[in-house]
Amino acid sequence: MYQDLYKAREKAIQEVSEILNDKISGLKISVISMPSDSSDPDMSNINKRVIIFNPNFETSFSFPFRIAHEMSHILYGSSSKTYTFSPLSKKTEEIEANLHGIQILADIFFGDYYSATQRCEYRYRFIELFNLQPIAHLVERCL
């Protein structure tokens, strides 16, 4: 049974990642995988519309959230900044990137099939799936 739960989780992450990648392509945002030191976070550059993803970066946050967070900087951030992945920062721009990133994932994950009530009922599954426990209070604001 536990193996089935793991497979279901991996399938859900894969499906969300595929849809997220389609959105990124449609928005003309490039994602570059650049393996580096485990302490080097992901980055995004608004002017170049690029996300630099470090697959070795040590974080509990899921791959889709990391990409959605950086995507949010490009879509909603200041026009000439480069951002580094720092979801626990208290800076307004990081909180906003978290909120937008959560909303992007929620729209993909829940789609048009779930009402606001159902989104609320399944919020813990959403939080668990994307490893959003440290920012669960922001998930509550979005759903």
Q: What is the largest CA-CA distance in the chain?
A: 49
Residues 6+ apart with CB under 8 A from 8: none
State both tokens at 24. 């990124």
Q: What is the distance between the alpha carbons of residues 121 and 123, in angstroms, rounded to a whole number?
A: 6
pLDDT of residue 50: 96
In the sheet that 43-45 helps form, which strands lie side by side, from edge to edge? 30-33, 50-53, 43-45, 82-84
Global confidence as pTM: 0.89
DSSP designation for 1: -
Residue 2's pLDDT band (cuts 50, 70, 90): very low
Closest Cα partner for 119 from 96, 142, 95? 142
DSSP 4: H
Q: What is the dihedral of CA 69, 75, 80, 82, to 10 degrees?
A: 20
Share of the chain above pLDDT 70, in %: 94
Mean pLDDT in residue range 33-59? 95
